[in-house]
A and B are shown apart, each in its own frame.
Chain A
Amino acid sequence: MAMYQSKYFFKLLEFQWERTKAYPIRLIISLSWVIFGFIPQFFFWYIIAQSTNTLPYTTKEIILYFLFSMGLFYNLNQINQYFNTIARGEVVTSVIKPMSLTANYFSIFFSTIFINKLPNLIIITIIGCFIVGITSSILAAIFFLFGLILGCTFFVCFFLLMFWMRNNWGVKWGIDILILFASGTWIPLDILPKFWGGLLLNLPFQLMFYTPAKIFLGQITPTFWLILQYVFWIIILYIIARILEYYGLKYYEQLGG
C-alpha cells in the first residue's frame, strides 16, 4: 500500500513538473515576486537592525532570516485552484480514486509547492553553504521539508472544511495571514512581545518556518525531541483530516452532472 502510494507520489512530482514546464513564465513570475518581496523586507529590517541594538539578531542574521523565509514562504495562492474543486464539484474525480482524499490532496499540495519552491530551495541551500556552513544549510533544507509536510497536512484540513464553507475567500485570506504571521515568515517570533511570542512558539505553525530558519542561522540545534514535535503535529492533523473527510463526504451535496 505504502509502496504504491509512494509510486503515485513520485509520478505526481513528475506530473507537476510537466505542468510547470507547460508554463515556464509562471515560474519566472513566481521567482520575480520573491525578489520583489525580499527588497522591501531587506530595507525594513536593515534599518531596524541598524537603529536598535535590542534585536536578538545581527544585521547579517536578520537578512539571512528573511532570505530564507521570503525565498521559501508558501501560502494558499499556490494551491488556491484546488480549494475551489469542492464548490465546483470537481472533487468527485478525486473521490473515485482508490485513496483517501487526505492522502490524495496532501500529495497534490506537497508536490505543487515543492516543485514551485525547488529552485529557491536549491539556491538558498547553496548560498547558505558559503555563508552559514554546509551542515546548517542542509539541516535547514531538511527541516523546511518537514515543515512543508506539516503545512500541507494543515492545508488539507483547511481544504476539507470547504465541504461546509464552500468558496469562502474571507476565511482563506484569514488563514493565509495566520500562517504567515504565526509561522514567523513576517516577523521572527522571538522579537514579538513575550505573551504573543510564547503563545506562537507553542503552536505548530512555528515549525513550518521559524524553526527551519533558526536552524539555518545555527541558533537551534535539531534534536530528536524536535523531530518528535513534527511527528506529533502531523499525526494530530492527519487524524483531524480523516475525520473531516468522512463527515465532509457525508455532508457533501452536488446536484446535477
Chain B
Amino acid sequence: MSDKIKVISVKNISKSFRVPKKPKSTLKKIANLFVKAKKKKQIIKDLSFDIYKGDIVGYIGENGSGKSTTIKMLTGIYPPSSGKITCLGKNPFEQRIDYVKDIGVVFGNKSLLNQDIAPIYSIELQAAIYDIPEKLAKKKINQFAKKLQVEKLLKTPVRKLSLGERMKFEIIASLLHNPKIIFLDEPTIGLDVIARERMIQFLKTVNEKEKTTIFLTTHNMDDIEEICNKIIILDYGKKVYDGNLKELKEIYANWKRITIVYNEKYNPFCDRDLEIIEKTDNVIVFKAPNKKLEEYLNKITNCFEIIDLKIEEPTLKEIVKRIYADGYVPK
C-alpha cells in the first residue's frame, strides 16, 4: 500500500480568518462605512495528520468545514495561523516556489485554462513554467489526452467544452510535471457517471504507476470508496476521523441494512419494534443492529410475505451522515 515515507505532516494547525462584523449601534454603523469592523472566525482547529507516499486520501467534510482552507495551506497559498506543516520536507508557505515544483493542484472551480483559447495553449504554457522540454511536453499531453479520451478536443476553445472535458484538461495540466503529490479540490464536481468513472480510473493508474500521493476533497462518497485507502473526516474545522475505510466501517457500521420487497398483505403492528430507514409502497428498508440481526430477520420473515430480501453493509454516505449528525466517532 504505502512505502511509509511521510510526505505530509500536519501538526496542530489552526487557521482563523477576519470576517465582517455587523455593527450594532448607529455610531458603529457610521464608523463601519470608513473602517470595516471585523471579527475572527476560526476555520481550522488544532488539526493534525500524517500522509505517506502513495496514499490516496479522501478529505471529507460538510460545506464550510475547512477542506479548501486546508488544501490552500498545504499548497503554500497561505500559512496556518498556528501549528506546523511540512510537505516533502519543506514548509509550503515559506519555501513555496521550490515546493510547488513537486505538487500538482486542481481546484474544482478555479481554472488553469484560459476560456478564450484551446486548452493545448494553456497546457503548453504550464509545461513551459515547469521547464518541460517542448517535445516531451507534447508527447505527454497527447498521451494523457488519449487516456482521458479528449485528444480530439485539444484545439477546441475551452468555452466550448463541457465541464467534464474541461476538468480532464485541468488534470492533464496539473500532471505534466510528474508531481509527487496531487491535490484535487472537488475534481468530480458536476461530472456525469462516465466522465467521473474515467477520471477515477486515470487517477488510480497514475497512483499505481508513479506512486503519486493523491489528496482529494469531495462530497461524492463513491469517489472515496473507489480510490481512497485513507480518509480524514472534518467537522467544522475539527478532525473527527483519520484512518482507513475498513476501520471506519468496523467502528461505525455496527448495523446492517435489510431491504425487503413484500406482498401487499402487511400487518402495520408487526414492524413496531424494528427501526425503519425508508418505506415505500411495498418496499421497506430496516436498520438492524449487528447484534440483533437474527432477531430482525426472524420478525421480518414472520410478519411479511416476502418476495425479495437483501442484506447490505451501510454505505459510506450513511456512515458519514451519521458522523456529522453525532459529531464524533466512537473509539
Which bucket holds chain A's interface residue count? 20 to 34
Q: How far is the CA of A79 from the CA of B157 in the complex (A)?
A: 22
Beyond A96-B105, A257-B186, whether A15 also contacts B97 by CB under 8 A is no
Q: How far is the CA of A18 from the CA of B128 in the complex (A)?
A: 16
- A12 — which chain B residues lie within 8 A by C-beta? 125, 128
Q: How far is the CA of A90 from the CA of B111 in the complex (A)?
A: 8
Which bucket holds chain B's interface residue count? 35 or more
Beyond A15-B122, A22-B157, A256-B64, whether A97 also contacts B77 by CB under 8 A is no
Judge if B107 is at the interface, Cβ distance under 8 Å: yes
- A256 — which chain B residues lie within 8 A by C-beta? 64, 68
Judge if A249 is at the interface, Cβ distance under 8 Å: yes
- B185 — which chain A residues lie within 8 A by C-beta? 257
Judge if A195 is at the interface, Cβ distance under 8 Å: no
Interface residues of A in 170-188 (CB under 8 A from B): none
Judge if A252 is at the interface, Cβ distance under 8 Å: yes
Kindly name the residue among A19, A96, A99, A255 whose own CB sees the greatest number of chain B CB atoms within 10 A: A96
Q: How far is the CA of A43 from the CA of B241 in the complex (A)?
A: 74
Cβ of A169 to closest chain B Cβ, rounded Å: 17
Q: How far is the CA of A184 from the CA of B185 in the complex (A)?
A: 48
Beyond A93-B110, A95-B96, A100-B97, whether A254 also contacts B72 by CB under 8 A is yes
| Contact status B110-A98, CB under 8 Å | no
Beyond A93-B111, A250-B79, A255-B69, whether A98 also contacts B121 by CB under 8 A is no
Chain B binder among A3-11, A153-161, A216-224: A3-11
Judge if A92 is at the interface, Cβ distance under 8 Å: yes
Beyond A19-B116, A255-B69, whether A96 also contacts B77 by CB under 8 A is yes
Cβ of A47 to closest chain B Cβ, rounded Å: 42
Cβ-neighbour of A257 out of B77, B105, B109, B116 (below 8 A): B109
Beyond A8-B128, A99-B97, A253-B17, whether A22 also contacts B68 by CB under 8 A is no
Judge if B78 is at the interface, Cβ distance under 8 Å: yes
Contact residues of B: prevailing secondary structure: mixed
| Contact status B122-A249, CB under 8 Å | no
Cβ-neighbour of A255 out of B17, B121, B124, B128 (below 8 A): B17
Beyond A93-B107, A98-B100, whether A249 also contacts B124 by CB under 8 A is no
- Mark interface residues in A64-95 (1 if CB within 8 Å of B CB, else 0): 00000000000000000000000001101101
Beyond A19-B116, A96-B105, whether A257 also contacts B68 by CB under 8 A is yes
| Contact status A92-B72, CB under 8 Å | yes
Q: How far is the CA of A186 from the CA of B110 in the complex (A)?
A: 39
- A89 — which chain B residues lie within 8 A by C-beta? 110
Judge if B43 is at the interface, Cβ distance under 8 Å: yes
| Contact status B78-A99, CB under 8 Å | no
Q: Nearest A residue to B128 by beta-carbon distance?
A: A11
Q: How far is the CA of A254 from the CA of B157 in the complex (A)?
A: 29
Q: How far is the CA of A136 from the CA of B164 in the complex (A)?
A: 54
- B98 — which chain A residues lie within 8 A by C-beta? 98
Cβ of B34 to closest chain A Cβ, rounded Å: 14
Interface residues of A in 227-257 (CB under 8 A from B): 249-250, 252-257
Judge if A23 is at the interface, Cβ distance under 8 Å: yes
- A19 — which chain B residues lie within 8 A by C-beta? 114, 116-117
Cβ-neighbour of A92 out of B77, B101, B116, B157 (below 8 A): B77
Beyond A18-B117, A98-B101, A254-B72, whether A92 also contacts B43 by CB under 8 A is no
Judge if B108 is at the interface, Cβ distance under 8 Å: yes
Beyond A99-B97, A257-B185, A257-B186, whether A8 also contacts B72 by CB under 8 A is no
Q: Nearest A residue to B93 by beta-carbon distance?
A: A249
Q: How far is the CA of A212 from the CA of B110 in the complex (A)?
A: 40
- A99 — which chain B residues lie within 8 A by C-beta? 97, 129
Cβ of B37 to closest chain A Cβ, rounded Å: 16
- A250 — which chain B residues lie within 8 A by C-beta? 78-79
Q: How far is the CA of A96 from the CA of B109 in the complex (A)?
A: 15
Cβ of A212 to closest chain B Cβ, rounded Å: 30
Cβ of B108 to closest chain A Cβ, rounded Å: 6
Judge if B212 is at the interface, Cβ distance under 8 Å: no
- B103 — which chain A residues lie within 8 A by C-beta? 96
Q: Nearest B residue to A92 by beta-carbon distance?
A: B77
- A7 — which chain B residues lie within 8 A by C-beta? 128, 131
- B79 — which chain A residues lie within 8 A by C-beta? 250
A-B contact pairs, 27 of them (CB 8 A): A4-B131, A11-B124, A12-B128, A15-B124, A18-B121, A22-B116, A23-B116, A90-B110, A93-B111, A95-B77, A95-B100, A96-B77, A96-B100, A97-B129, A98-B97, A98-B98, A98-B130, A100-B97, A249-B77, A249-B93, A254-B77, A255-B17, A255-B19, A256-B64, A256-B68, A257-B68, A257-B110
4 more A-B residue pairs beyond the given contacts A93-B112, A99-B97, with a C-beta to C-beta distance below 8 A: A8-B129, A18-B121, A98-B98, A257-B107
A-to-B contact residues, CB < 8 Å: 4, 7-8, 11-12, 14-15, 18-19, 22-23, 89-90, 92-93, 95-100, 249-250, 252-257
